[in-house]
Structure 1
Amino acid sequence: MSENKDFLRTIAEEDLATGKYKEVITRFPPEPNGFPHIGHAKSICINFGIARDYNGHCNLRMDDTNPTTEDMRYVEALKDAVTWLGFTWNGEVRYASDYFPKLYDYAVALIKMGKAYVDSLNEEEIKAYRGTVTEAGRRSVYAQRSVEENLDLFARMRAGEFQNGAHVLRAKIDMNASNMKMRDPLLYRIRHAHHFRTGDSWCIYPMYDFAHCLSDYIEGVTHSICTLEFENNRELYDWVLDALELTPPRPYQHEFARLGMNYTVMSKRKLLELVKGGYVNGWDDPRLPTIAGYKRRGYTAESILNFCEQIGIAKANSMVDVAQLEFCIRDDLNTKVPRVMCVLDPLKITIENYEGEEEIDASYYPHDVPKVGSRKLPFSKEIYIERDDFSENPPSGYFRLTPDQPVRLKHAYILTCKEVVKDENGNIVEIKATYHPESKSGADTSGIKVKSAIHWVSARHAKEVEVRLYERLYKVDAPEGLEDLNPDSLHVIPRAFAEPAVVCEKPDERFQFERQGYFYADPIDYTDAKPVFNKIVGLKDSWNKKSEPVASTPKPEAKKVHIEGEIAPMNAQEQERFERYTNTLGLNAEIANTLARDGALSAFYEEALLVFKSPVGIANIVANDVARELKQAEMLTFDAKDVAELAKLVDEGVISSSISRQVFEQMVKTGENPKAIVEAKGLTQISDPAQIVPIIDDIIAKNPENVAKYKAGNTKLLGFFVGQTLKATGGKANPSVVNALVEKALESM
C-alpha cells in the first residue's frame, strides 16, 4: 500500500490491526432505478478497491425496495458497469428483496420490544407533526397502541388488507431529536405495486434506512461506505442495529465526498427527464455522464479508473473540472491508438501534373509511441482536404494552403495552388494544384520550405463514413435545468471521408483522426455498409477558448437550501413559505427554496395556483423559466394565467414536457396564449398508437441490424428505437406510449 493512504483505507487498516474485524467486507448497493453514472464509478472504485487492497471481498447488492421505479434492465446496466471497470463481486448478485422475510422478522422484533409502532396519520399529518429544525416534533397519538395491536395491524398490512398510505410502521425514538432523521422515522410503508423480482408477494416495503443497515449486517459487511448526504442517516443506521441487540460483529458507516463535476448533472431525476423527454437518445447517449454513455462514446475503463484515482477520496464536497476526465482519456489513448486520416468537410483538389496512382507507406504511430504498425496510403490525382485548410485571403499566421503558400500533405508531397474554382455563387468548389515529385516525405530533395502539414485522403479510394461530433451536453458549468442544455451538443456529419485502412483493415476500434481528435467505431450503429464513428474527445481542450467570447448573463449567487440537520438563514415569512411548499404542496427542497426566498416569484407562483391546481408542475416552470425572464426582461409578455394554462396542457397530456419548452419560448417572444400556440403550430402530443405504430414500423424496417442485435440480447437498443421515434415526431410523441409500443413491437418480432 502507498504511504499516502486515504482516510477510508486508514480506517480499514486500523480495524484489521485491532482485531475489530478478521476480514474487510464492503458492498456496492445501488438502487436499480436508472443507469449508473460517473459518480457511481467513483463509488465502485472505492468499495471494490478497498476490498481488493486488503484481501477482502465486495458484494454487489441491488437496493430494490421501491417497486415503482425499478427494473431488471437497470440491474443489467449496473452489473455491466462493474464488470467493464474490471471488478468482480463476491458470489451472486445480491438483492435487498432477498432479505424481505428476514427484514419483516426484524420489524416484528422491534414492535415486540416496544421500539416500533403502527401509525395511522396521513402523509401531511406526519410531516406536520415532525416539526422543523428549530421546533420539536409531536408524537402521534397512535404511538400509544399496545404491542398486541401493533403486531396485529402490521400483520394485516403484510396481508394486504389496507390501501396505500393507510398505515406506516415507525420507529419509536425521539420526537425532540436535533437530527430530524431520528424523529420516529418510517420503517415500512404500504405500496401495492408489482415488484420486478418478488412479483405481488409483498405489498409492504422497507424504507432505505431500515433495509440498508440490516442488509449490511446479514451479509457480514464490515465497512458500509457511502456519500456525505447520508451523514445524518448514520445515527439511525446505528440505532437500528443497536436497538435489535444483534450479535457482533456489526457494520459501521463511513462517508466520503460524492463526485461533483461541472457541465454535468448526475441527479437520477434529471437524467431520467433527459431520457424520457427525448432530449438524448437513451441512457447510453454518448453525451450523458452514464457509464454506458462513456463506454459507447469510446472512453476506456482505464481512463475512468485513472480519473477516479486522480480525484482521490475526500471528506468535503468539491467540484471537479470535467477537463480532468477529458485529460485522462487523452492520456490513455495517446499511447494506444493508431493515427489515421479522415476529412470531415471535404474540399476537392485536382493535381494537374500527377497521373496514375501509388501507395505510400505510412506508420500508424508517431516516433514517441512505442508501438509498431503501418499501412499503405493510396495517392491519386484527385484528393480531398479539409475546407478550412485552404484560405484564399489568409489571416496573419495562417500556415496552410493559400494561392501563394505551398503546404505538405502528411506522409506525401508538397502541394502548390494554381487555380481556385468557384460556383456561380462564389463558393470555392475545387482547387487545381501541382505537386512537387522530389518532395516526398522521407526523401525530400526539393528545397521547398513549408510551415505545416495537412491531412488528406484520395478521393477515389476514400471510404464514406458518418461522424458524430459530441460537445458538452450543457452550455454552463453549473447546469440547473433543461434551459441550460447546449443546443450544439451533437453535430452529425453524414458524409466524411476516411482513408481505406480504417474501414477495410480495421487496425483498431479507436483512432486518432489526425488534427481532429480521438474517435471510436460506434458499437451499436456501425456496419460495414455504413461505418459510424463517435468523437471521444478533442486533441486539446478547446471548450474554454471557444466559450470565452460568448457573453452570458451571470447567475445569481446560489442560495442556501434548507437541509435537515442545519438551520437555513430564512426570515420568518420565507421559512413559513418554505414549510408550506415542501410539506403541503410537495415541492422538492431546491425548488421550494428558490420560490420561498423571492417575494415576486412566490407571488407569481401563488397567482398561477389560483388558476390551476398543479403545485409541482407550475413550480418547475416558475422556478426555472419565469425566474430567468424576471431577471432578464424589463416586462413580461405573459402572466400567471398563461403559465397555469401551460402547466395544465402538460398535466392533461395535450403536450409533452419537452414541447412545453418550445411553447414557453414562443410565449416569451410573442405573448401569445399557450393553447393558441399549440393549435397554430400543431404541437399536440401524439398518444394515439395508430399514429405512432407506423412510424415505429418504418424505423424498425430501416434498421434490421439493430433489430437483430436487440433480439440477440442487446436490450440497450430499446433506447435507440425510442429516440428515433421521438425524433421522427419532432418530440411530440408521448414518451411513455412510445416506450411501450417500441418494446411491444420488438418483442413480437
Structure 2
Amino acid sequence: MTSDPPSGEEKPASRNFIEQIIDADLAAAKNVDQIHTRFPPEPNGYLHIGHAKSICLNYGLAQQYGGKFNLRFDDTNPTREEQEYVDSIMDDVRWLGANWEDRLFFASDYFEQLHDWAVKLIKAGKAFVCDLTADEMREYRGTLVKPGKNSPDRDRRVDENLELFAKMKAGEFPDGSRTLRAKIDMAAPNINLRDPVMYRIKHAHHHRTGDTWCIYPSYDYTHGQSDSIEGITYSICTLEFENHRPLYDWFCEALGIHHPRQIEFARLNLTYTVMSKRKLLQLVTEKHVSGWDDPRMPTIRGLRRRGYTTESIQAFCERIGVAKFNSTIDMAWLEDAVREDLNEKAFRALAVLNPLKIVLTNLEPGQTIDIEAPNHPQNPEAGMRTLPLTREILIEADDFMEDAPKKFFRLRPGGEVRLRCAGIIKCDEVVKDAAGNVTELRCTFDPDHARKVKGTIHWVSAARALSAEVRLYDHLCAVENPEDVPEGKTFIDNLNPNSLQSITAHLEPSLVDAIPGTHIQFERLGYFFVDPVDSTPNKPVFNRTATLRDSWTKVKN
C-alpha cells in the first residue's frame, strides 16, 4: 500500500480471516466458550508501532466478541529484561486503550508449573538432558535439506535425566554446560521440531524472581503453556511464528493440557524506519537518537512524544487491516491518520518559521490593532483569541517572490495579499542589502475584509511574537527500505541526516502559556505538539507531528 486511504462512500466492513475463523469455531461450538486473547510482550525493550497493531487486534477481538483480554509478560530471559521496560509497556498498552482489568500476568508466575511439566515430559520419555555445547548443537541440528542427527545423550535413562535436571535446577552446573531438550524428531522437515531446547542454565538475577532460579525456560516452551494456564482460546501472533506452530501444538498435546489455537497474521512493516527491537536498541545505545522516546523513533513512546494520538494509531491499525502475507505499508498512511484526527482536535495558531520583516507604513510606531481570530474555524464553540497587529510584522520568506510567476498568489512587488484574519496588504517597496538580498518589505495595510484578493498568508507581530524552539522532524531513514543495503553497509548508513532540524520560530504571543501535551495546528505549516519533556513554564518547545496536506495549505479568504 503506497497511496492515500481510499475516500468516498463508506462500505460495510468485511470480516478479516481471523474473524472468519472465530465465527466458524463459534458456529461449530469448537474449542470456544468465551473468546480470550492476550498480548504477550517480552520486557526487553519499548513497544513500537508494530506492537500497536497486535494490541489493537487482540484487544479489539476480545471486545468485539464479549471476551477477555490479558496482558502477560513473557519474561524468561533475565539478562535482557528490566523493570523499566515492564513499566513502559504497561503505560503504552493502557494509553492505546487496551484494558486488561485484573488480568496482568508474567510467565515467571508459572516457573514452578513449567518446571513440573518438564519433569512430567522427562518421566514420559519425551525430554532429556543434553551435554552438547551450543556450537555442537547447531552442527547436529542439520539444515533445511539435511536431517539432523541425534544427540549422544538422547537415549539417557529417565532416572538419569531426572537426576541431572534436578542438579541443573540446584545450580550445580555452569552456564551453558547442559540443556533440557524435548525429544521429538531430528529428521523432521521443520527444524523447530528437531529436539528443541526447553531449559538453559543461566545464573542470572531475574527482575521478579531474583536468584530463585538458575535455569530458565525457552520462549517456545513457555509461550504455549502460559497461554494454556490462562485459558487463552486464540494465540494470535505474527507470521514469523508460523513455523513454530507445530511445536506449540506438540507441547500442549504431549502434556495433555488445554490447547489454544494459534493463528498467524502479517506483522506491520513501515517505510523509512526500522522495526527490530535490536536495531532500535542500537540506535539508542549508539546515540543516533536521544532515547526510546525520540520523536523520530517508531516506538509508541516516540510517537506519543511527537504528538500522535491514541485515536490516530487505532484508526491506522483499522485501515491497514489484517492480512496473511507480509507487506510494507507506506508511512503516509500513518501520517494521514494523525492528520485526520488532529484536524478535528487541534486549535489553530499563527507561527512563522522562516521570517521576512514587513513594515506597514500607514500604521504608527507603537500602534496595535486587535484582530479577532477563531481558535478552530470549523468549531465556533472553540471560541476566539486576539492577535496583535503592529507596524512591523513577520511573514514566511517564501510567501514573497520578487519575480513571481503568473499563478503565484502570494505577495509580489505591487501585489496584494490578505493577512490571515486581518485586512489586505500591498507591497510598495522592496528593501535589499548590499548583496542584493531582500531584507524588508514596505507595505500599506487596508483593513477592508470585504474586498477580494486571491491569496492569504499567515503572519505574526514582530514586536509581540514569542520566540520558541520548534523541532521539525522528518523520516528516521532516508530511503524507503533502510535494511536493503549493499555488502559492508548497515541500516545505520541509511539514516536520514536531516531527520531533525531545530529552529527558533516566531509564534503568536498566546502560545507562551501553551500546556505540555497540547496539540496545535500552525496554520499553513502543519500540526505541532507541545513537548511534554523539554517544555518549561513560559518556554514551550514544539514538535512537528505532521505536515499538512497540499490541499489544506490553501487558506480560504
SS at match of 2:243: coil
Contact 1:57 1:90 in 2 (8 A): no
Give the Å deviation of 1:138: 0.3
Letter in 2 for 1:197: R
Deviations 1:651-709 (A, max 9, x none): xxxxxxxxxxxxxxxxxxxxxxxxxxxxxxxxxxxxxxxxxxxxxxxxxxxxxxxxxxx
- Aligned-pair distance for 1:3? 6.5
Corresponding residue for residue 498 of structure 2 = 488
Is the deviation greater in 172-181 or in 453-462?
Answer: 453-462
Aligned residue for 2:487?
none
Candidates 56, 68, 81, aligned match of 2:79: 68
1:287 aligns to 2:259 (yes or no): no
Q: 2:194 and 2:528 mapped to 1: Cα distance?
A: 54
Alpha-carbon RMSD across the aligned residues, in angstroms, is 1.7
Q: Is the 8 A contact 2:512 2:539 kept in 1?
A: no
Displacement after TM superposition at 1:93 (Å): 2.0
Q: Separation in 2 of the partners of 1:454 and 1:475?
A: 31
**Cα deviations by residue, 1:589-609 (Å, 9 ceiling, x for unpaired):** xxxxxxxxxxxxxxxxxxxxx
Give 1:287's aligned amino acid: R
Choose which of 460, 464, 471 in structure 1 pairs with 2:463. 460
Residue from 210, 216, 237 that aligns with 2:221: 210
Matches of 1:77 and 1:396 in 2, distance apart? 54
| Partner AA of 1:325 in structure 2 | L
2:476 equivalent to 1:473: yes
TM-score, normalised relative to structure 1: 0.69
Give the match for residue 129 of structure 1: 140
Q: What are the residue-to-residue correspondences of 1:196-235 with 2, within 5 Å?
A: 196-235=207-246
Match 2:356 to one of 339, 347, 355: 347
Q: Quick one: distance in 2 between partners of 1:17 and 1:181? A: 33
Aligned residue in 2 for 1:57 = 68
Q: Indicate the residue corresponding to 1:118 in structure 2.
A: 129
Indicate the residue corresponding to 1:722 in structure 2.
Answer: none
Q: Secondary structure at the match of 2:153?
A: helix
Q: Aligned partners of 1:538 and 1:131: how far apart in 2?
A: 52
Q: Which of 265, 284, 288 does residue 256 from structure 1 map onto? A: 265
Q: Distance in 2 between matches of 1:171 and 1:507?
A: 54
Greater share of strand: 2
1:371 to partner: Cα distance: 4.9
Match of 1:5 among 4, 10, 15: 15
Q: TM-score scaled to structure 2, two decimals?
A: 0.92
The CA distance in 2 between the partners of 1:327 and 1:507, in whole Å, is: 23
Contact 1:118/1:154 (8 A) holds in 2: yes
Q: Name the CA distance, whole Å, in 2 between partners of 1:129 and 1:311.
A: 42
Name the aligned partner's letter for residue 455 of structure 2: S
Query: 1:283 Cα shift?
Result: 0.4
Give the secondary structure class of the aligned counterpart of 2:345: coil
1:157 aligns with 2:168: yes
Residue 378 of structure 1 contacts residue 461 of structure 1 at CA under 8 Å; is this kept in 2?
yes
- The CA distance in 2 between the partners of 1:195 and 1:423, in whole Å, is 67
Instruction: Check conservation: 2:517, 2:529, Cα contact below 8 A.
Output: no
> Are the aligned partners of 1:114 and 1:147 in contact in 2 as well (CA < 8 Å)?
yes
- Quote the offset at 1:476 in angstroms: 0.6
Name the structure 1 match of 2:5: none
Question: In the aligned structure 1, how far is the partner of 2:479 from the partner of 2:215?
Answer: 43
Decide whether the 8 Å contact of 1:335 with 1:370 is kept in 2. no
- CA-CA distance at 1:250 after TM superposition: 2.4
Query: Which residue of 2 is the match for residue 168 of structure 1?
Result: 179
Q: 1:85 aligns with which of 85, 88, 96?
A: 96
* Alignment check: 8 A CA contact 2:516 2:532 kept: no
Range with greater deviation from structure 2 (255-264 or 106-115):
255-264
Instruction: Spell out, residue by residue over 1:495-536, the C-alpha distance to the aligned partner (whole angstroms, 9 max, x if none).
Output: 211112233476981111111001111111112232101000
Per the alignment, residue 421 of structure 1 pairs with 431
Task: Give 1:224 deviation, angstroms.
Answer: 0.6
1:381 to 372, 379, 391: 391
Q: Secondary structure at the match of 1:358?
A: strand
What is the rounded CA distance, in whole Å, between the counterparts of 2:380 and 2:279 in structure 1? 43
Matches within 5 A, 1:660-671: none
**What is the letter of the counterpart of residue 453 of structure 1?**
T
Equivalent residue for 2:316, pick from 304, 307, 310: 307
Looking at structure 2, the residues matched to 508 and 208 of structure 1 have their Cα atoms a distance apart, in angstroms, of 38
Distance 1:420 1:219 in 2: 74
Residue number in structure 1 paired with 2:382: 372
Structure 1, unmatched stretches of 5+, are 543-749
SS in 2 for 1:335: helix
C-alpha separation between the residues in 2 aligned to 1:282 and 1:395?
Answer: 45
Cα offset for 1:372?
Answer: 3.5
Residue 322 of structure 2 aligns to which amino acid in structure 1? Answer: I
> Partner of 1:132: helix, strand, or coil?
coil
What's the secondary structure of 1:143's corresponding residue? coil
SS in 2 for 1:60: strand
CA distance in 1, matches of 2:202, 2:179: 10
Partner deviation per Cα, 1:698-728 (whole Å, 9 max, x = no partner): xxxxxxxxxxxxxxxxxxxxxxxxxxxxxxx
Query: CA 1:299–1:504 in 2, change beyond 3 Å: closer, same or farther?
Result: same
Q: Which residue identity is paired with 2:481?
A: A
Note if 1:431 corresponds to 2:441.
yes
Partner SS state of residue 250, structure 2: helix
**Structure 1 residues 29, 455: CA separation in 2 closer, same or farther (over 3 Å shift)?**
same
Deviations 1:106-156 (A, max 9, x none): 111100110000000111111111111111110011112111111111111
Equivalent AA in structure 2 for residue 373 of structure 1: G
Contact preservation (8 Å) 1:60, 1:90: no
Residues 21 and 281 (structure 1), Cα distance of their counterparts in 2 relative to 1, 3 Å cut: same
Structure with more relative contact order (C-alpha pairs < 8 Å, separation 6 or more): 2
In 2, are the aligned partners of 1:353 and 1:435 still within 8 Å (CA)? Answer: yes
Which amino acid in the other structure matches residue 55 of structure 1? Answer: G
Q: Secondary structure at the match of 1:231?
A: helix
Matches within 5 A, 1:325-340: 325-340=334-349
Does the Cα contact within 8 Å between 1:67 and 1:196 map onto a contact in 2?
yes
- Please give the secondary structure, in 2, of the residue aligned with 1:233: helix
Name the counterpart of 2:4.
Answer: none
Mapped to 2, the partners of 1:62 and 1:131 lie a distance apart of 32
Distance 1:157 1:458 in 2: 74
Q: Relative to 1, partners in 2 of residues 1:113 and 1:33: Cα closer, same or farther, differing over 3 Å?
A: same
Q: Identity of counterpart residues, as a percentage?
A: 54
Structure 1 pair 290–506 and aligned structure 2 pair: CA distance change class (3 A): closer
Contact kept? 1:338, 1:507, Cα under 8 Å: no
Letter in 2 for 1:259: L
> Per the alignment, do residues 214 and 506 of structure 1 end up closer, same or farther by CA in structure 2, a change over 3 Å counting?
closer
What is the aligned length?
530
Distance 1:522 1:124, change over 3 A: same
Q: Distance in 2 between matches of 1:206 and 1:523?
A: 40
CA distance in 2, matches of 1:89, 1:266: 25
Q: What is the alpha-carbon distance in structure 1 between the residues aligned to residue 471 and residue 165 of structure 2? A: 56
The answer to whether residue 42 in structure 2 is matched with residue 31 in structure 1 is: yes
Q: Deviations over 1:196-229 (max 9, x none)?
A: 1111111111001100000011111111110111
Q: For residues 431 and 462 of structure 1, do their structure 2 counterparts lie closer, same or farther at Cα, with a shift above 3 Å needed?
A: same
Pair 1:512 & 2:515 matched: no
Shift of 1:76: 1.3
The match for 1:401 is 411
CA separation of 1:370 and 1:31: change in aligned 2, threshold 3 A: farther
